[in-house]
Amino acid sequence: MNRTGRHKTTEEAADNVLLDRLQRTAFEYFLQATNAQNGLIADTTREGSPSSIACVGFALSAYPVGVEHGWIDRADAVRRALVCLRFFMDSDQSGGPNATGHRGYYFHFLDMHNGKRVWLSELSLIDTALLIVGMLMAAAYFNAETPDEIELRRLADALYRRVDWRWAQRDGAAVTHGWKPECGFLHYGWEGYSEAILLYVLGLGSPTHPLTEQSFLTWTTTYQWENLYGIDHLYAGSLFIHQFSHAWVDFRGIRDAFMREKGCDYFENSRRATFVQREYAIRNPRSFTGYSAECWGLSAGDGPSVEPRLVAGRHQAFYGYAARGVPYGPDDGTIAGSSMLASLVFAPDLVLPALRRLIASDVSNSDELIHASGFNRLVREGGQNGWVSQDRFGLDQGMIVLMIENHRTGLPWRLGRASPYLRAGLRRAGFRGGWL
Amino acid sequence: MFQIHEAMNHPCEGVHDHELCANARPPTWRNPTPCERYHLLIVGAGPAGLVAARGAAALGARVALVEQHLLGGDCLNYGCVPSKTLIRSSRLYADMRNATHFGVRPPDRIQVDFPMAMARVRSIRARISRADSAARLAAEGIDVFFGTARFTGGDTVDVEGTRLRFKKAMIATGSRSMLPTIPGLAQAGYLTNETVFDLTALPASLLVIGGGPVGCELAQAFARFGCRTIIAHDEPLFLPREERDAALLVAEALASDGVEIHLNTKAMNVRVEGAKKIVETINDGNVATIVVDEILTGIGRVPAVANLNLEAAGVAFDPDGGIQVDDFLRTTNRRIFAAGDVCLEHKFTDTADASARIVVRNALFLGRQRFSALTIPWCTYTDPEIAHVGLYVRQARARGIPIKTFTVPMHDVDRAIADGEEGGFVKIHVHEGTDTILGATVVARHAGEMINDLSLAMVAGIGLSTIARVMHAYPTQAEAIKKAANAYTRTRLSPWIAWLLRRWINR
């Protein structure tokens, strides 16, 4: 072996160690931030954080990964999943202001202890989809003929079948964002490409209350295919949009009508979106500290909530928790480190060098720039790393676990491919080719 | 349900307003003795009426022009002219506050003088009114009548007791502010775009109800003057017809100017306590209270069809959609045409102008020009401005047209960087696989100036390949359009052509 080859092998080994460490730390979030009585998972590490149903979905998706790596034994994982599924099956579905759900959907935020709605949150379609896909993943993985695993599969199936997707189709074919007991359906619609593709696939695949095929076509009518920075892609500004559905659905080589027209697929599109993010950071139009070809990742997450200040002569506001994006912002210099890592599967050639650089620059030696929900090097009062979110978010940890796993073994994708519901949903959305 | 706001007669105060009135409604004006029959009688002397009157008179037609209020219509008196003038002043205050962004030391103290800005509005309104004064129109051979026009038959109109006969007529009475029916609003008092320019003192706080173009423009302007400004909009995004990125950029711009933004928020009722107006709002079931000094409603326009006695002329209309016209702008009475806001969905001065030109040709010269053939640009004059022409992506996709967008962020344009005006983008939509421009949206500080290049290209059938060959002066912000065209030509370099070129260069 020549020197370059040896160097490469050493680097690969170091990368594997690093990825293993990051993935395991992320996985442990789900073991710690849970209520063993009902399986709910806290939204964040913040004191008193309620449960986010999306985080529960990530936990259910992550348990199989933990079992495979030996971070949790199978019986423990099954027990955790089962407690959770039993809770949702028995939950209050009346749709009242203090209920847990309605028509098979669940409120976005639930009390960690009693599982009732908190924060006047909405009955959330996308978060229900993230929860349900986690149930289907767990059901696909825990396939043993033991009483617990049989019950787990039965519950997951029943909970999926219970969701009344068709009910959320308002104004003809369009699907709403959510519903509240206080005001009925929210009048936000899904406009432009987004993580909702998972919601549509699940909704279309339902054998009981399916969305109409027209709903997907109506939504994709709002897509914008753009050439930006010389890169042709299906545009969405915030990086997480290009990642979320891809944690479960292997979009490599399968195409719907839109992607057939454009000669692309959603996986390749996410790869291109990663390049767009990097191009933006190189341009760094607002001259923010820290942005570079190896430091990018504008996505949804926490950011500083400090008073506006002058940055490069300009009054710069700070947005706290926000869905940041490129190229039009919002951008206040905050990077979501986990979002960069979650693009690993699409563009390892971009992500690995950036990851090494980010870890090397972390003066705390704690990997906090990856696990914390955002960091901002403009705001220096946080310490030597600049401002770093004090909180870890379950969604970020879930994406780290699943996307590293897709990169390493493809397990979440294999589970997704094995789901008859996801396959049916993809076919009804017009996907053809490849593994489908 | 909406009620119509009756336009106020403009108060005639101060030297500028006196000049405006002398031009737009001379106090001593005496209506002329009508001729036996006019070739073209025009009801309404806004942009459409003035253009048609001038165009027809220049071609030798006998023209009567009837105006109820002021010559120039909404555009000059309550609309484009005063609002753009006020916006200019507010923009300068914003620039003063952001002086460091331009490498300039800001003034130690920025003292806003609102009455001074309003005096400038009146002065500029008066100045522009000179071009279309009643005296000038009369000198051009147009019979100008002031008064209320009522149709008395299929070819006659009564103006203040005088009967005018016509061969052809054009109705161009424009539109009025549309007010939401909010209990207590009328009793509490409110401003509309027709009265807001009569303010002489800056209110300490202002609630703008409605996040359409007028609402957004004025909310930003008032915030920049230092008024605590709140905007409540009953939708998830401002400017519902614009594309999402454009609307988001405007929301961000408004927020950075200090406008308090309440989206998905409906005003439920208004009451008065002392000098304050208390507005109860609801958002996703949550009730809140907003306390302000003034309320401005700018939620839309309804056609001005009242009191015309259109039934007598056999002209069909409905109160919301206005006068029914065919694609040749002819009403249900073949002698009578309509132009501008009173019959069109696009309620813009430029569209009124273009439609009036069509009417002159179609009514007097047997023309067969279609309104639908027009390429209509529009612009919202927030900072940054949003300008659009042609199709939106969603419209094209709904019609099954394969569409691709070439996007150039303004932060890739040297002049925009140098000007410190990097917010925004140029998006040019082409038919996939061709260079044919289907539409474009520009968000930039001078988007209104930039969209004209693209309108020209669309009307002349010029594609992106040709634009890529047109030298654009460097550095200019409109170079963004050339950059989009260059991006298009790069996509034409297929791997096969690239291989050929490499072979040639390395031969």
**Closest of B212, B229, B191, B292 to residue B90, by C-alpha:** B229
Nearest Cβ partner for A222 among B394, B403, B412 = B394
What percentage of chain A reaches a pLDDT higher than 90?
A: 90
Q: Which residues contact B381 (CB under 8 A, 6 or more apart)?
A: B83, B84, B87, B213, B217, B448
Q: Of A186, A191, A221, which has the smallest distance from its Cβ to B244's Cβ? A: A191
Query: Does residue B7 surpass a pLDDT of 90?
Result: no
What CA–CA distances, in Å, run from A81 to A35, A51, A66, A404?
A: 12, 15, 13, 21
**Burial code of A217-243, b = ≥16 C-beta within 10 A, e = fewer?**
bbbbbbbbbbbbbeebbbbbbbbbbbb
Confidence of residue B12 (pLDDT cuts 50, 70, 90): low
Instruction: Tell me the nearest-neighbour CA distance from A115 into chain B, angstroms.
Output: 22
Q: Do A227 and B286 touch (CB under 8 A)?
A: no
Fold for B2-176+302-373, please state it. Answer: FAD/NAD(P)-binding domain (3.50.50)
Residue B388 scores a pLDDT above 80: yes
- Spell out the domains of chain A, with CATH numbers in brackets: 18-428 (1.50.10.140)
Do the beta carbons of residue B402 and residue A261 sit within 8 Å? yes
Average pLDDT on B110-138 reads 94
**Domain boundaries along the sequence of chain B:** 2-176+302-373, 178-301, 384-491
Chain A interface disruption, residue of B394, B435, B437, B492, most A CBs within 10 A: B394
Helix (H) or strand (E) holding A298: none
Tell me the pLDDT band of B2, cut-offs 50, 70 and 90. very low
**Res. A3 pLDDT band, cuts 50 70 90:** low
Whether residue B405 lies within 8 A of chain A, CB to CB, comes out as: yes
Separation of alpha carbons B238 and A239, rounded Å:
24
**C-beta pairs of B215-218 under 8 Å, 24+ apart in sequence:** B215/B296, B215/B298, B215/B299, B216/B250, B216/B254, B216/B380, B216/B382, B217/B83, B217/B87, B217/B380, B217/B381, B217/B382, B218/B83, B218/B193, B218/B296, B218/B298
Q: Residue A221: which of B244, B398, B425 has the nearest Cβ?
A: B398
Measure CA A96 to chain center.
28
H helix intervals, B63-113 = 73-77, 80-97
- What does the pLDDT look like over B336-386, one tens digit per residue? 999 999 999 999 999 999 999 999 999 999 999 999 999 999 999 999 999
Residue A417 CA to residue A415 CA, distance in Å, equals 5
CATH number for the domain formed by residue range(s) B384-491:
3.30.390.30
pLDDT value for B498: 84
Architecture of domain B178-301: 3-Layer(bba) Sandwich (3.50)
In this predicted model, what pLDDT tens digit does every residue of A363-392 receive, in sequence order? Answer: 888 999 999 999 999 998 878 889 999 999
Least confident stretch, A107-116, B2-11, B177-186, B232-241: B2-11
Average pLDDT of A303-309? 93
Residue A281 is predicted with a pLDDT of 98
Contact state of B236 with A188 under an 8 Å Cβ cutoff: yes
Same fold, B2-176+302-373 and B384-491: no
Q: Indicate whether B55 pLDDT > 60.
A: yes
pLDDT one-digit tens code per residue, A200-250: 999 999 999 999 999 999 999 999 999 999 999 999 999 999 999 999 999
Chain B closest CA to A236's CA: distance in Å? 10
> What is the residue whose two structure tokens read 């730390």?
A25
Q: Note the pLDDT of residue A4.
A: 63
Query: A328, B235: Cβ pair inside 8 Å?
Result: no
**B249 Cβ under 8 Å from any chain A Cβ:** yes
The alpha-carbon gap from B483 to the nearest alpha carbon of chain A, in Å, equals: 10
pTM: 0.94
Nearest CA in chain A to B429: A226
Q: What is the pLDDT of residue A8?
A: 76
Contacts of B502 (CB under 8 A, 6+ apart): none
pLDDT for residue B9 is more than 60: no
- Asked if B404's CB is within 8 angstroms of A232's CB, the reply is yes
Task: Check: CB of residue B431 under 8 Å from CB of residue B425.
Answer: no
Average pLDDT taken over every residue of chain B: 93
Evaluate if residue A1 carries a pLDDT over 80: no
Give B92-101 pLDDT, tens digit per residue.
999 999 999 9
What is the pLDDT at residue B474?
Answer: 96
Q: Do A313 and B102 touch (CB under 8 A)?
A: yes
Q: Is A171 on the interface with B (CB under 8 A)?
A: no
Q: Is B491 in Cβ contact with A313 (below 8 Å)?
A: no
- pLDDT bracket for residue B298 (50, 70, 90): low
Q: Is A187 on the interface with B (CB under 8 A)?
A: yes
Q: What is the pLDDT of residue B4?
A: 35
Calculate how close chain A gets to B398, using CA atoms only, in Å. 6
pLDDT reported for residue A315:
86
The model's confidence at residue A414, banded by pLDDT at 50, 70 and 90, is very high
Q: Mean of the pLDDT values across residues A317-339?
A: 95
Tokens of B35: 């001729």
Distances (CA, A) of B447 to B237, B297, B421, B423, B440: 20, 25, 11, 11, 11
pLDDT at A29 over 60: yes
In this model, does residue B289 exceed pLDDT 50? Answer: yes
Out of B245, B248, B406, name the one closest to residue A227 (CB). B406
- Residues of chain A contacting residue B397, judged by C-beta atoms under 8 Å apart: 220-223
